[in-house]
Structure 1
Amino acid sequence: MWLIDTTLLELRCHVTVPHSYAILSHTWTEEEEVSFQEFHDIEARRKKDGFAKITAACELARLRGLKWCWVDTCCIDKTSSAELSEAINSMFRWYKESAVCFAYLRDLLPDGEKTGGDFDQDLAGCAWFWRGWTLQELIAPRTLEFFDKDWNMRGTKTELINTLHNITGVSTQVLENSDCLGETPAGTRMSWAADRQTKRVEDIAYCLLGIFDIYMPLIYGEGERAFSRLQQEIIKEKHDLSIFAWKAEPNGQKFRGLLARCPSEFRHCRDVQVSYQLRMTTEYSITNRGIQLHTLLGTDDAGNYLLPLGCILRDPCSQDSKKQALLDGKDSIGVYLKKAPNYGLVRAYPDKLHTYRGWTSSMIQQHGKKRIHSPQDLAAYDCSLIDEQHRLSIRLGESNFPFKINSTGPDYSWDANSQTFITMADQRFTGYCRLRITTSRRSSFDCVLVCGLMRIPSIDKNSVKVNDEGLHVRAWCSIFSSSSTMWAELSDLTKRHEPQDLMNLRNTVDKKCGKSDSDRCVSETSTEIVLASVSAEKEQDHGIWFFRINVSVDCMPRRPQKRARDD
């Protein structure tokens, strides 16, 4: 650690950090600042306007009886990537361990030069409150003093604590003691940087390392990936689902991964609180498939999955709202997920959060915990592919008798929540459902529903155009009961989920029955004769074509047979 001797104005290298030193916090003007190399040249440094604030900070430190002072412009050899990385990863600790931090606000005019407005407004207008790096310089120091353009002290962090909270959103508890950061949700900490700016894209992530007590290598040139890496490190170190509580800007991508792209997407998280009553036991980790979670999932009526985040959004102006939310889970938040083959579950409606009153025991029992994975992020190209995957889906519609789905295939394309096969617009797609249809309290029967897509002329009323080359497809469906001569063969083929088995299933049905958009089968018992019918037709939802297969069942009771009379 390089420090300036406040008397000699010379740089000295310290292997261990001294017990007492001052530190300067300020906003940079690149052409004015004195670099590490320039500081060693007395004539060169005097020509720089930035040297004046260095000498002023050293003078203040010397008057406090401090021999050493640290200034980021000249105390880091930025030509050494190793030294730069060490300094940035250690900077929060250096500010925290300083005896005093001087915050120099060069755009804060002295009292005699004020042009109007009160002090709080003048303070809030200073660039120091909108730079990324100064966030940790506000939070970390135990003693922080603010100085105006002429180095007049205008107050301390303790004296201005409520004003600083109103300007920055940082809680007064954290301003009083940075050790409280560990109790602050990740989403809230991110929100403090929502409106802050850095000159380099990567620095918006690097300036938050100390806020999250994270250490990671610096890779200038990686761009927005730096913020993604920061979130990955937070996930590895912390168990805090509020890291997923971001919201994208409206009218952006239709689908996203689970990670945010910048702190501004956490702007609404300033008042996020962990909901301790919702004792979520979600486990999550970074894998080569993205983010893997073992978690409780809910569902909604629109075919989405709901991932609860174990935290609440409250009205910061209402203490009653806060109390009530903690009691009954009101305003607890979650995110919408949708199944996408080859991607797992992706974030749907990324500009929205789902709010709910809490998970009832019946909902937990119904859905249980599941192991899922979700991508970290998605490009616009991925979104178009996912849209294409959901186009021409085959949905299982309603039935006049209840049925239970015992098994389906292929697993990767079946969405149990919406009872939909995601066909990926593949004209050779084939899927199946093993159904148990209940016709009365005492009677039920098993059947296999096989369906898929097939190429068809455009004149067919149920055909849908696939691409610009004029290819049209429609859905086909066949249904078989246990009395069918094909039952044993179909049962064998639907026990395995390999692509070749599904192809054999398609070929078997095509060879013996043909492919049509309707079919029926018969099941007979001692009390009734059941006729099960299926039919497929195209439908449109929000401009997207899909196919729906309806199941209808007709029951005819058997007449009791008369006993033969004895002769």
Structure 2
Amino acid sequence: MRLLDTTTFELRNGDQNSFCQEGYAILSHRWIDTCCINKNSATEEAESINSMFKWYREARLCITYLADVTRDVELPITSPRVFNRASSEERSEWFFRGWTLQELLALQEMQFYDMDWTYMGTKREMAVTLARVTRIDARYLSGAENFRDACIAVKMSWMALRKTTREEDMAYSMLGIFGITMTPQYGEGQGAFMRLQETLMATYLFDESLFAWQMPDLSSDSQHGVRKDKWAPSEWGLLAASPEWFKDSGDIEMAPHESVTRSFAMTPQGLKAPIRRTLYTGEIMALEGVFGILWISFVGTIFGGIGFLYLKHKLNKKAKEDFAFALNCYRRDSDGKLANVEIYLRPTSVDKVRYRYRKNPPSLVAKRIRCNELGIRFKSATDLGEGVVLQPRPGF
């Protein structure tokens, strides 16, 4: 870690723990690591990216310099306009950069200054104003609650309107926010955000809000290199292509005592997920061994056989129908009650109905459809058995 001694103006190198004992201040601004990181060293670059959140969190003070804002003394600090650019009615660019989000969240002692270094206020004093500008609940900004208590979808929604110069940094700048580490691989492009989501999936086993996103519009898929001969508009997998797709997920909640833990894992084909249909646990019994024989014997050989085949046909047809999959995350309905968020799946490959499915469950491969919407319904999240949800990759 490198720090500038404000007494001697000497550049000091050392371990962060030693600097923490003395105490240090840190600067936040819209330019990133121009002077702080030696990018010629892959080791230093990786260590710095994974340590940056800690640098801010353990600082005594963060000085935030808004280079495009002029403080209007006639405006109260409760007005979001205090953060407007001097040349327009838009918010300061600081609020639209990816790396500055973790700086805003990391620590409470933050002071804002305008382009002339005029003092504007502290993060605590301006928490309500900052909440209106960033869409981050004031409770997290004031320190009343730990922002880490927010679910994945909510944290992603905070990044949705932000940009980074390099595509990979959209993922890397969120590592500290989620409390995870990744090895930076510049050049992987969209793959960085996919890796981030796979890491979150393996780390936050109870939090299925990772899948609670919506496409901004039906052309969103084409912006990420998806081949039209394989994926129709509004079709996708379980993992989003960009944080932008979480823009409207800021109201997603997790249950206080979530008891259902389901397994999701990436495979070469897509995500292995508990999506198998419940229809195989009930009606299928009528086709199994003794039940099928008794049915045919009781009804009669001809009519029983016809009924037997009809039920198989009905189940095979039902197995190919679109269906809703309830996640273990929630939204408030019109009465303020928590209801499960659900997404929609369409089977692309299903085993035909045959005997003894309870011992050998049918395979199910599906796509996510209607990706521009999320539903809510009072339906508990249960483990339905494994299937695969296809996941597009760039160039598919």
**Are residues 1:22 and 2:21 paired?**
no
Aligned residues: 322
What is residue 303 of structure 1 aligned with on the other side?
A: 321
What is residue 263 of structure 1 aligned with on the other side?
A: 243
Structure 1 stretch displaced more, 180-189 or 130-139: 180-189
Distance 1:269 1:180 in 2: 19
What is residue 254 of structure 2 aligned with on the other side?
A: 274
**Are residues 1:189 and 2:155 paired?**
yes
Confirm or deny: 8 A CA contact 1:76 1:84 kept in the other structure. Answer: yes
Shift of 1:352: 1.6
What is residue 346 of structure 1 aligned with on the other side?
A: 367
Where 1:94 maps in the other structure, the secondary structure is: helix
Change in Cα spacing, 1:352 to 1:152, as seen in structure 2 (3 Å) is same
Task: String of CA shifts for 1:352-404, please: whole Å, max 9, x gaps.
Answer: 223213249xxx7xxx62111223325675xxxxxxxxxxxxxxxxxxxxxxx
Shift of 1:279: 4.4
Distance 1:340 1:143 in 2: 53
Q: TM-score normalised to the size of structure 1? A: 0.52
1:155-194 matches, cutoff 5 A:
155-177=121-143, 180-194=146-160
What is residue 211 of structure 2 aligned with on the other side?
A: 244
| Overall identity of the aligned pairs, in % | 34
**Are residues 1:104 and 2:65 paired?**
yes
Task: String of CA shifts for 1:161-198, please: whole Å, max 9, x gaps.
Answer: 11111111112232234982332110000000110011
Where 1:333 maps in the other structure, the secondary structure is: strand
Distance 1:274 1:310 in 2: 7
Change in Cα spacing, 1:109 to 1:310, as seen in structure 2 (3 Å) is same
Shift of 1:108: 1.3
Distance 1:27 1:91 in 2: 15
Shift of 1:254: 3.9
Shift of 1:117: 12
What is residue 74 of structure 1 aligned with on the other side?
A: 35
Q: Partner letter of residue 350 of structure 1?
A: C
Change in Cα spacing, 1:181 to 1:122, as seen in structure 2 (3 Å) is closer
What is residue 134 of structure 1 aligned with on the other side?
A: 100
Shift of 1:207: 0.8
Where 1:210 maps in the other structure, the secondary structure is: helix
What's the Cα RMSD here?
Answer: 3.0
Distance 1:354 1:268 in 2: 13
What is residue 224 of structure 2 aligned with on the other side?
A: none
Which one has the largest radius of gyration? Answer: 1
Runs of 4+ in 1 over 6 A off after TM superposition: 114-118, 298-302
Q: Partner letter of residue 332 of structure 2?
A: R
What is residue 201 of structure 2 aligned with on the other side?
A: 235
Change in Cα spacing, 1:123 to 1:218, as seen in structure 2 (3 Å) is same
Going by fraction, where is helix more abundant, 1 or 2? 2
What is residue 225 of structure 2 aligned with on the other side?
A: none
Q: Partner letter of residue 311 of structure 1?
A: C
**Are residues 1:87 and 2:54 paired?**
no
What is residue 343 of structure 2 aligned with on the other side?
A: 335
Q: Partner letter of residue 27 of structure 2?
A: L
Shift of 1:122: 3.3
Going by fraction, where is strand more abundant, 1 or 2? 1
Confirm or deny: 8 A CA contact 2:154 2:251 kept in the other structure. Answer: yes
Q: Unpaired runs of 5+ in structure 2?
A: 85-90, 220-232, 280-317, 351-363
Distance 2:129 2:255 in 1: 28
What is residue 360 of structure 2 aligned with on the other side?
A: none
